[in-house]
Chains A and B, each alone.
Chain A
């Protein structure tokens, strides 16, 4: 458990990636989370819900 943490955790502990647009900047990680949230929201509404028994 601990060993796996250390090996794979290097991925997020390295030098950070940032996206810049003028005075706006956001970390790649935060951007990924926000995009994922929007995607999940859209999918949650769009994906049909099973079990339409009346």
Chain B
């Protein structure tokens, strides 16, 4: 019934013609080389300068202070992220009942209060007694006391003003939190915080986890990204700054984020990764998937591609040998 049809597909028993593989390759290399140089010369490449914490805190000191307070009181996105940064109870996305995020564990430990606020300021304390005292009061206070101060300050920040390099809030009982944040703002604006976050333990730095997490917790980076259509809801994954072509091959990955239920799901990232993993595997395994692998045979496109061959073979009725 179904004869083993692979022999017809496997080996070509028909005619050949001369062909120069190496010459074709060299021509391709030269053509692509010239095309690339032309595109590079005409269009160049984008290089929007990286944003520093100094820049952020100078552009929007109140947003900076608000974010810094959230890092201090543990309410920021990073502070409540869960693995791999910390062990926030209940945090971590799930695919069905499984949380791969939690299974991976806390491998990049970040204590936002210590790493983003207290430790960088600690390096200044020896030269600034008032700061040293504020830090020590904060560190010795109870959780409840700290919460009282940070809650009060958070409300006050809504009415904060920044004038002449000084952050001022309406009067209230903020304890050491007010001087701590004021010093942090000044430290950031002066450029010291960028370095302190990266070279905390050693001179040489290649790991930007801390400053990037800190900035990502704010709305500043997001605002800049929105102008360039780089946000998730703007299909940002496929885009590049300016008018440069981006990564259109990520269209399917970002597509899922645009539709329900993923648009509003807290497990969107994990679920979409699962979907894309399955689809990627499907792409790789096309030859083994019935239905999908028969599509080319059912469409007449192949007859266009091989029209010369079919013309030579099919217009000679009774012929058993073609070209």
Which residues on A are within 8 Å of B, measured CB to CB? 1, 4-6, 8-9, 11-18, 23-30, 32-34, 45-46, 49, 51-54
Tell me if B17 and A12 are in contact (CB < 8 A).
no
Cα(A53)–Cα(B304), bound, Å: 19
Query: Is B240 an interface residue when CB atoms closer than 8 A count as contact?
Result: yes
- Rounded to whole Å, the gap between the CB of A28 and the closest CB of chain B is 7
Q: Which B residues are in CB contact (< 8 Å) with A46?
A: 304
Tell me if A12 and B43 are in contact (CB < 8 A).
yes
Cα(A13)–Cα(B241), bound, Å: 8
Cα(A13)–Cα(B246), bound, Å: 13
Cα(A26)–Cα(B258), bound, Å: 13
Cα(A28)–Cα(B304), bound, Å: 31
| Inter-chain residue pair count (beta carbon < 8 A) | 80
Query: Is B41 an interface residue when CB atoms closer than 8 A count as contact?
Result: yes
Q: Which B residues are in CB contact (< 8 Å) with A12?
A: 43-44, 46, 242-244
- Rounded to whole Å, the gap between the CB of B320 and the closest CB of chain A is 17
Query: Is B127 an interface residue when CB atoms closer than 8 A count as contact?
Result: no
**Given contact pairs A8-B43, A18-B229, A27-B246, a sample of 11 additional A-B residue pairs in the complex whose CB atoms are under 8 Å apart:** A9-B45, A11-B243, A12-B244, A13-B44, A14-B242, A26-B238, A32-B245, A45-B301, A45-B305, A52-B308, A54-B312
- Rounded to whole Å, the gap between the CB of B319 and the closest CB of chain A is 14
Q: Which B residues are in CB contact (< 8 Å) with A29?
A: 240, 243-246
Q: Which B residues are in CB contact (< 8 Å) with A17?
A: 243
Pairs A–B under 8 Å by Cβ, sample size 29: A4-B41, A5-B44, A8-B41, A8-B42, A11-B43, A12-B43, A12-B44, A12-B46, A12-B243, A13-B44, A13-B46, A13-B241, A13-B242, A16-B228, A16-B239, A16-B241, A25-B229, A25-B234, A26-B248, A27-B238, A27-B245, A28-B243, A29-B244, A30-B238, A30-B245, A46-B304, A52-B308, A54-B17, A54-B323
> Most B CB atoms within 10 A — which of A1, A12, A32, A54?
A12
Q: Which A residues are in CB contact (< 8 Å) with B304?
A: 45-46
Cα(A12)–Cα(B258), bound, Å: 27
Cα(A16)–Cα(B239), bound, Å: 10
Query: Is B138 an interface residue when CB atoms closer than 8 A count as contact?
Result: no
